[in-house]
Structure 1
Amino acid sequence: MPPRINIPPVTRILLIVLVLQSILSAAIRYRQWTAHSEIFIPYLNLVPQLSLVYPWTFITTTLVESNVFTLGIACLTLYHGGRYLERAWSSREFGKFLLISSVIPNTLCFGTLIVFFTVTRDERWTLMTIAGTIPLQISFLVAFSQLVPAHTVTLFRGLLSLRVPRFPLLYVGVVTALCMTPILTSTSFFLAIYGLLTSWTYLRFYKAVFPDLDSSQPSSLRGDASDTFAFAEFFPGPVRPFVAGISETVFNVLVAMRLCVPFNAAEHSAVRGGDGNFMMQRSSVPGSARAEAERRRALALKALDQRLHAATATAATRAQNAAPPPPVHPPAPSASGPTVHSQPQVNSQKTMTAQQAGGSSGLLGETSYNPDGEDRGSA
């Protein structure tokens, strides 16, 4: 029998709806296709001028792809990214993240097109279709930047190495380039920008941190106050101070408008050690305290394994030194074999000791722990 593919429930529903709606959209376009007019599906896709009477399109339009190329990329992204994030966060938190990362960018893009129509009086702005999984794809990249900020991905057999926080900005650049081709529409650029801002804002300030039983952090802790998840970390080093200054100014304005709440002492202490210095491990990542406990258990198991090997070797040495020498004149062998005094006691004792040592090693296994190294040369 072929192996059963284990897909979490929310990710499974996401993939099914994406494929069904994309097939339905393609069938409608094929049936209504004409060479002289553009086809709109206002009850499935979000079109500013036509979809106000279909409010559900603010959600459904995210899971509709218009061509096979984007559909294939969307399926791969949702399959791998959805499985990872849903298992890391739980299905409920993952579903909430999907809802926020799709509805808010679609709404902001809708409002942007209305503003452009108001300024230019060009009706084409209100007839642009807002659709696709681009907000979800860039939101997954932002989530990975929070969970594994120091991880480096090597591409093209080592020719290019990029840290995970570089991928959201790289994705925006790729989408911008594809918007100049028939593959993507100009609305995809706005969806990528708004998806980046929305997902980062939610994870930075609002997402509830999973309470860890191995730590003393409060269960009401929200957001991620670590420096590794600052907005400037998405940008290369030369422009990072400039972006950090702008983002700090915007944050202070939002705090003054009471749209954002600054981090309190408990949230800052979650990413700092008891002496006020930053810990080597990112304690702000959900479940990182559990990871620290696993690291300590691995180190303790390794130390125990080494002590067992040392104790076994010491016992073998003592037994070899304490064993009596064989008799000088052994008695003549009998038909029943050698007597008790002529049995190779020392060799058998060595063999038993070696077997005990090998058995303990085989039972416990050779434990080795390689802690994550420091950041290797970010791109």
Structure 2
Amino acid sequence: MAVLSFNPAQFVAAIPPATRAYTAATVFFSVLYYILSWSGYSAPFLVLIPGSSIFYPWTFLTSAFVETTFIELLFTLLVIPASLRYLERLWGATELLKFIAVTITASNIIAFGLNWIEYVVLRLPVFLYGQQYHGQMALQIGVLVAFRQIIPEHQVQLFGVLKARVKTLPMAYVTFSTVMCIIGFQCPFIVIQFGWLVSYIWLRFYKKNTGDLAGGPLYGDRSETFAFVTWFPPLIHGPITWLANTSYMLASRFHLIPSGVTDVESGGYAAVPGGARAEAERRRAMALKALDQRLAGASPTPASPQRSLQSNGASRPAASSTTSLNSDTSGPKKPAGEADAIDVGGSASGSAAH
């Protein structure tokens, strides 16, 4: 009879370091907040309060570690560590920590500025002292954006009932945030929208990719399938395309985004590294092999066996040559996770906006 044993030390040691540190910080700051709340103390030095956080600048980052209710903490511990573990093994600890810090801090800074603008315009003190930003909603949407980049066609099952593709989840969460803000719950749901925008810009232009191509590191993912316009329905692609192109040109003119080996306008991109990309390459090779077999089967069959043998010997290189040509001129490769959508007989899709 097999004996199942669980060693907590081995389980913790198996968690990558950045994920382990982030999870520990979340538990520590949340428990500290609970203790202070039960003791009757406020904690403006732990959460982001627009009217007082200017004196506690570290709260722009550390407020994300504070979950003010047990339900929020439980949900975070069930979702975030597993997601960060996957991303850390794909990106590495350094890039994951950069992604976390940028997504959380930039989203909180934007929310802080918005509250001050609302106070100046409306003169309502509630925007300065009646709202506190906390929790990991910005990071949650950031993780969904990262998954949409890496495994967009992967299907997930929610609560054993609902099924959805990963690429549909970020905008569903943003839509939920919009509804909550409209009915009066700006804090903390507005940071979902800011987290979506910040995480997308970081992954699109600034995230460092190493070890894939010669000539040094590449930044971001400039593929057409990750363009800004792909987040929106076709009905509004026109104005979104103009807005994205204009913003990109201005950012490039003022050198606000790092330059890569290739540019978006030339059809180049910085590919997504890691095992998912290797899987996409494998599927692409299988598609090219199927195309090669199709071209070989379409060659004419001569009457005599001798000529048939010669014809087969000549047609195979021709098919291989055609396959090689298609592989060289097929345009930018799709990022990892979308290889299932490769149509060996189809044509390349049109360019999408940034």
Aligned counterpart, 2:333: none
Distance 1:257 1:271, change over 3 A: closer
- Kindly state the Cα deviation for residue 176 of structure 1 after the two structures are TM-superposed: 4.0
Q: Deviations over 1:30-65 (max 9, x none)?
A: 221xxxxxx742111111222222221111101111
Distance 1:157 1:26, change over 3 A: closer
Match of 2:248 among 248, 251, 257: 251
Aligned counterpart, 2:23: 15
Distance 1:244 1:267, change over 3 A: closer
Distance 1:260 1:165, change over 3 A: same
Distance 1:218 1:188, change over 3 A: farther
- Kindly state the Cα deviation for residue 233 of structure 1 after the two structures are TM-superposed: 2.0
d(CA) in 1 for partners of 2:116, 2:36:
26
d(CA) in 2 for partners of 1:374, 1:97:
28
- Kindly state the Cα deviation for residue 155 of structure 1 after the two structures are TM-superposed: 5.2
- Kindly state the Cα deviation for residue 268 of structure 1 after the two structures are TM-superposed: 7.4
d(CA) in 2 for partners of 1:106, 1:168:
19
d(CA) in 2 for partners of 1:114, 1:270:
41
**Letter of the 1:205 counterpart:** F
Match of 1:108 among 107, 110, 113: 110
Aligned counterpart, 2:273: 286
**Letter of the 1:243 counterpart:** I
**Letter of the 2:47 counterpart:** N
**In the alignment, is residue 192 of structure 1 matched against residue 189 of structure 2?**
no
d(CA) in 2 for partners of 1:285, 1:137:
20
Q: Deviations over 1:3-29 (max 9, x none)?
A: 542211111111111112112212222
Question: 8 Å contact 1:46–1:61 — kept in the other structure?
Answer: yes
Aligned counterpart, 2:120: 118
Aligned counterpart, 1:150: 153
Aligned counterpart, 2:132: 129
Question: 8 Å contact 1:209–1:219 — kept in the other structure?
Answer: no
Q: How does 1:83-232 map to 2 (within 5 A)?
A: 83-127=85-129, 128-153=131-156, 161-178=163-180, 185-212=185-212, 216-232=213-229
Question: 8 Å contact 1:175–1:188 — kept in the other structure?
Answer: no
Aligned counterpart, 1:24: 32
Which sits farther off after the overlay, 100-109 or 71-80?
71-80
Distance 1:156 1:61, change over 3 A: closer
The percent of aligned pairs where both chains have the same amino acid is 31
Question: 8 Å contact 1:104–1:198 — kept in the other structure?
Answer: yes
- Kindly state the Cα deviation for residue 251 of structure 1 after the two structures are TM-superposed: 2.5
SS where residue 78 of structure 2 aligns? helix
Q: Deviations over 1:227-263 (max 9, x none)?
A: 1111222234444444333322332343344434576
Q: How does 1:348-359 map to 2 (within 5 A)?
A: none
CA RMSD of aligned residues (A): 3.3
Distance 1:73 1:251, change over 3 A: same
Q: Which entry has the higher C-alpha Rg, 1 or 2?
A: 1
Q: How does 1:59-98 map to 2 (within 5 A)?
A: 59-98=61-100
Q: Give TM-score, length-normalised by structure 1.
A: 0.65
Q: Give TM-score, length-normalised by structure 2.
A: 0.70
Uncovered stretches (5+) of structure 1, i.e. residues with no partner:
33-38, 273-282, 300-370
Aligned counterpart, 2:314: none
- Kindly state the Cα deviation for residue 289 of structure 1 after the two structures are TM-superposed: 5.8
SS where residue 52 of structure 1 aligns? helix
Q: Deviations over 1:293-329 (max 9, x none)?
A: 7669999xxxxxxxxxxxxxxxxxxxxxxxxxxxxxx
Which sits farther off after the overlay, 75-84 or 245-254?
245-254
Q: Deviations over 1:249-291 (max 9, x none)?
A: 332343344434576536778957xxxxxxxxxx711136644
